[in-house]
Homo-oligomer: A and B are copies of this chain.
Amino acid sequence: MKVSDVDFSQYVVSLARGVLAGLGELPDPETNQSVKNLILAQHSFAVLKMLAHKTEGNLTSDEHHLIQTLIQDLEQRMNTQSK
């Protein structure tokens, strides 16, 4: 069974999309509807933070910049929603 590689940056972006979807800021591509699911948002965000920590020192500068920028941006959105 051939296994295609998974790219770190693409994976990180897919997790970030999970956060946005959970915050109701990204419609489901199939239904075109936004469904808020804060548990999903929190979980995907926590995975991003765990990955940033566990991959420290092993990322290219682009990858590092991407994950840090996404975490900052998503953290702000989550804080805004919880106010």
Residues of chain A whose beta carbon lies under 8 Å from any beta carbon of chain B: 1-8, 11, 38, 42-43, 45-47, 49-51, 53-59, 78-79, 81-82
A57–B50 CA distance with the chains assembled, in angstroms: 15
Closest B residue, CB atoms, query A79: B1
Q: Are A54 and B55 in contact (CB under 8 A)?
A: yes
Which residues on the B side are within 8 Å of A38 (C-beta)?
1
Q: Which residues on B sit within 8 Å (CB–CB) of A3? A: 42, 45-46, 49, 78
Q: Are A11 and B58 in contact (CB under 8 A)?
A: no
A2, A54, A78, A79: most-surrounded residue (chain B CB, <10 A):
A54
Q: Does B54 lie within 8 Å of A57, measured CB to CB?
A: no
